[in-house]
Every structure is written in C-alpha cells, then in structure tokens.
Amino acid sequence: MQNLTLPSRNQRKLSRLHLGDLSAEAKKRLKCIDWHRAHGENVSLTSRHFGISRQTFYRWWQRYDPHDLRTLEDRPCRPRHCRKVSWTPAEVLAVRKVRERYPFWGKLKLVVLLAREGLSLSASRVGRILSYLKRTRQLVEPLRRTSARRRQWKRQYATRKPREYQATAPGDIVQIDTMDVRPEPGVVLKQFTTVDVVSRWSVPTIASNATATLATRALADLIARSPFPIRAIQVDGGSEFMAEFEDACQKNAILLFALPPRSPKLNGRVERANRTYREEFYNCSTATPTVAGFKADLLAWEHTYNHVRPHQALGYLTPAQFLSRWTKQHLEDLSRTY
C-alpha cells in the first residue's frame, strides 16, 4: 500500500492562490483530492465515488504539488524520443516520380517498380515516404473525374411512400417487380409480378422485355384481373416503371410509390412471390420457352396461386378465401357502425 503524505494547512492555503488559473479538468482532479481528505483518506472509496481507478488517483497524487497546482494539468503525450527520418532525398525523389506516374498504385506495386530500377526499398519504407510526401504536400494527387453514383432521374408522378400511409385493406398497396425468366440457356424473358400486400393476390404477366410499354400492359392486366380496386402501387427504381407507366398510374388515379435505391427488402412480398413463381411454376413447366408458350400455362397457374395454394402468411388460406373472409368481416363492421 502506498503512503499518501498530506500537505500542511499553510501549504493548502498557499495552493489556493493559483486556483483561478486552472483548467476545468485540473479543478476536477483537485476536487477529487480534497474529497479524499475529507472522507477518511480512503483511496478505494474515493475512486468509486468519482468513477476512476485507484491507479489514476495515485498518479494524480504523486504529481500533485500544493505549491504549484499546475501539476494537475494534462501533460503532453508526445513521445520524448521520436523516430528520425532515415530515408535519403534520392529515395524520396524516386518514390515521388514513380507514384506520380502511377497515381493509384499502392506501396506494394511501387516496391516492384523501384526494384526494377535498381532501388531496393521495403514496403513500409515506401509507405512512410508516401505519407511524408502527402503530409508536406509534395505529392500532387489527380482529381477523380468519374463518380460512382448513378444519375437519379426526376420522377414526374411517383413519390416516396409517406410514413403515415399504411396498407389496411386489399388494394391499398400492390407491389410490382420485374423478374428474369431463363428457361433455357440463351433465352431471357421477363415477368411482371404483382402482389397485394394485404391479401397476397397476385397477377403475373410474361413479356419479352422490361420496358415501360410492357409494364403498362401488366398494369392493365392487374386492374382487369384484381377483385378489388387498386389505390396505390409500389415499385423500385427500374426504368420500366417510368414514362408511360407513370402516365398510366396517374390516368387511373393510382398512387405510385417509388422505393429508395438499394432497398429490395421494402418490396418483400413481391420478392418472395418471385421465388414461388420460379420454383413452383417455371422449374416444373413443360411449355415452350417463349412468351406465347408460357402465357396460357401462367394464366392457369395464376388461378392455382390465388384459389388453390395455401399461403402460410394468411394462416394457410388462399388469397381468395382471405378476401371472402375480409369482405364479410368488413361488411359486419359497417353494419355495426350504422
């Protein structure tokens, strides 16, 4: 246990002469020492009270001088002995010359190039020289003229979904997504998948390409084959959901919500439906791998999806059964209201 020698009363009185010159941190440390004296000189108790370690308190006490309270101030943390520069001007010039020739190459590649010129340097040495050149602004870095960010096209009608807008009834939000269909090597078709958020009712449309014109036709199929009115549609940032598609939504008085970039999780219902179509229809279909060949079978599978297939998310009801129950419950609630 360390012996803590307390200063005399005259020394404590003398120390207060410099109290006004102390920083807030030094005053905090002095307060800790005074509290320690006033409460039985118990180091453990003092440390717990101020939330510091015993070692920290001992360190403050050892450097505490009652005649000079500046001893409680923060000390510089710079090392007493700093590493001296060991490279030569010729090495600095060689590294700078090679780096300016190949500005995006790192120190490992520069080591190889310098070795080809007969200068053997370690990677860490080259790295320190590069840091020195950047710190002293002797190395001119090129401007990055290209940007990784894609241009964001301004939507004419689509908006972000408001936080207060929630899907509580069938048709409140229908998610639409485009899925690649690759039935054979070299054959790439597109399917526009639509899923109602509440009832899981789905209307798929097979197409040759993902264009705004074909997406508009898929929207027409959705409106025609859905047993409820469509109030809002949610899509990603694909170009097929712009131009004519936006005009069609506006013409039919359907709200159009566009998702933020790189957020497929917000379209989770339709993303899961894409997997179902891929595994349960396209992997099992024997139809001709063309738009005309898939069209009839896909229409039959749409009926299976909505009227036969139990959905776990609906308590193993079909979308048609869920809609029937929801409509009945909704009518009963309205009758109670009036």
Residues 333 and 266 in one domain: yes
Q: How many residues does the chain have?
A: 338
Residues 42 and 130 in one domain: no
**Residue 168: inside a domain, yes or no?**
no
SS (H, E, C) 236-261: CCCHHHCCHHHHHHHHCCCEEEECCC
Residues 183 and 114 in one domain: no
| pLDDT (0 to 100) of residue 338 | 63
And the tokens for 45?
Answer: 């108790």
Which residues sit opposite 65 in a β-bridge? 68
Rounded Cα distance, 82 and 330, in Å? 79
Beta strand 255-258 with 232-235 is parallel
Residues 115 and 222 in one domain: no
Residues 124 and 63 in one domain: no
**Residue 328: inside a domain, yes or no?**
yes
Rounded Cα distance, 274 and 264, in Å? 12
Q: pLDDT tens digits, the chain, 338 residues: what are they?
A: 455 454 555 455 545 545 667 888 888 888 888 888 888 788 888 888 888 898 888 888 888 777 778 788 887 888 888 878 888 999 999 999 999 988 888 899 999 999 999 999 999 999 999 999 999 989 877 766 555 555 556 778 889 999 999 999 999 999 999 999 999 898 999 999 999 999 999 999 999 999 999 999 999 999 999 999 999 999 998 889 998 999 999 999 999 999 988 888 899 999 999 999 999 999 988 899 999 999 999 999 999 999 999 999 999 999 999 999 999 998 887 777 76
Which domain range does residue 50 map to? 9-72
**Residue 22: inside a domain, yes or no?**
yes
Residues 108 and 236 in one domain: no
Compute φ and ψ for 178, nearest 5 degrees: -105, 130
**Residue 24: inside a domain, yes or no?**
yes
**Residue 3: inside a domain, yes or no?**
no
Rounded Cα distance, 230 and 323, in Å? 14
What is the domain count for the chain?
Answer: 3
Q: Any idea what the CATH number is for the domain that residue 213 is in?
A: 3.30.420.10
Rounded Cα distance, 97 and 102, in Å? 9
Residues 211 and 331 in one domain: yes
Residues 333 and 189 in one domain: yes
**Residue 282: inside a domain, yes or no?**
yes
Residues 270 and 184 in one domain: yes
And the tokens for 239?
Answer: 């170009």
Residues 299 and 194 in one domain: yes
Q: How does DSSP assign 93-129, residue by residue?
A: HHHHHHHHHSTT--HHHHHHHHHHTT----HHHHHHH
